Amino acid sequence: MPEMTFREAIRKGLTEAMDGDQKVFLMGEDIGAYGGSYAVTAGFLEKYGPIRVRDTPISESAIVGTGVGAAMGGLRPIVEIMTINFSLLAMDQIVNHAVKVRSMSAGAAHVPMVMRTVTGGGAGLAATHSQSLEGWYATVPGMKVVIPSTPADALGLLRTALQDEDPVLFCEHALLYGTRGEVPAKPYTIPFGKARIARQGKDVTLVGNARMVHVALQAADELAQRGVQAEVIDLRTLRPLDVETVATSVKKTHRCLIIDEAWKTGAIGTYLAFRVQQEAFDTLDAPIAHIGGEDVPMPYARNLEQLAIPSVQTVLKALKDQIGV
């Protein structure tokens, strides 16, 4: 299989959509002449023109609201919100309009809109540009929240998102754009709500999403040197949430640690722990453990920022202190 970066995989998915359907258009801040803050849409303005690649004013509410109207009118907008932190300015349009149109119209109208956004910390962008808010949106009925960790998943899940008839929040971690991986050459899609077993194991289950999957895999390498075989599960989507795959793994390994980059209080991982406990309680040899980002505004100082985000060391410490692995 050919290799490509996470960025290239997203670009490929967008190109396929734009080439395949004239109703698809892109809209967002700096996506045209500038080529996107993370260079995903570089060259799109020249290829598709300003009607289909629209640079917008700095108004997330207006961007998402326009996308909702365009989608209801028969188009298929791909809205880019430069960072998930800025989505707070469009919260009303996302939560009270985009995801409720179908139910409030009794199915007479729908919003086939993909909202691409960047999430996560670790890039030295301080408190208001480093938040992981995808778990918030995963609590909203009608919302689909997608958060890939590899180039192959980014492309497959984006293709699925672009076929959906309802709004999809597609979250791309800021530190994954340059990562590389094999991507199947033949066309494929990846269904929502189906987690990926990133590594097989029998002694403990590690669960994460986005960059935390990479942290879990590195921790699994460390554990392997001690003779401990960790199974690593990549959730892929937070809504729908694949409880079954995680519970099946826990029934095999009897131990589980869920890793969130989002703040530990109210994290989606704590809800997942509750659901897995319901399904696999009788097979557990230790309580399900959860670690998340520290409950602080993200520090700007590099050393403090690293302490606020789960790392291989914090994963290994949690396994030892909370589970006894």
* Dihedral over alpha carbons 69, 74, 76, 80 (to 10 degrees): -10
pTM flag (> 0.95): yes
214 noted as active-site residue: no
- Evaluate if residue 1 carries a pLDDT over 90: no
Which residues, listed in sequence order, are joined to residue 215 by a DSSP beta bridge? none
For 155-209, write each residue's pLDDT tens digit: 999 999 999 999 999 999 999 999 999 999 999 999 999 999 999 999 999 999 9
pLDDT of residue 136: 97
- Evaluate if residue 224 carries a pLDDT over 90: yes
Tokens for 94, please give them.
């996302």
Strands 230-234 and 196-199: antiparallel
Strands 204-208 and 168-173: unpaired
Domain ranges of the chain: 3-182, 196-323
Annotated catalytic residue, options 8, 29, 97, 129:
129
3-182: what fold?
Rossmann fold (3.40.50)
60 noted as active-site residue: yes
For 76-100, write each residue's pLDDT tens digit: 999 999 999 999 999 999 999 999 9
pLDDT of residue 298: 97
| % of the chain with per-residue pLDDT over 90 | 99
- Evaluate if residue 114 carries a pLDDT over 90: yes
- Kindly list the distances between the CA atom of residue 220 and the CA atoms of 9, 181, 203, 263, in Å, as whole numbers in the listed order: 26, 19, 11, 23
Find the helix or strand (DSSP H, E) in which 5 lies: strand 3-5
Find the helix or strand (DSSP H, E) in which 158 lies: helix 151-163
Please answer whether residues 272 and 243 qualify as being in contact, where contact means their C-beta atoms are separated by less than 8 angstroms.
Answer: yes
Choosing among 3.10.129.10, 1.10.150.120, 3.40.50.920, 3.30.1370.60, the CATH entry for 196-323 is 3.40.50.920
Annotated catalytic residue, options 29, 60, 80, 261:
60
Closest CA to 276 of 253, 252, 254, 250: 250
pLDDT of residue 281: 96
- Kindly list the distances between the CA atom of residue 137 and the CA atoms of 52, 99, 168, 212, 265, in Å, as whole numbers in the listed order: 28, 10, 10, 19, 15
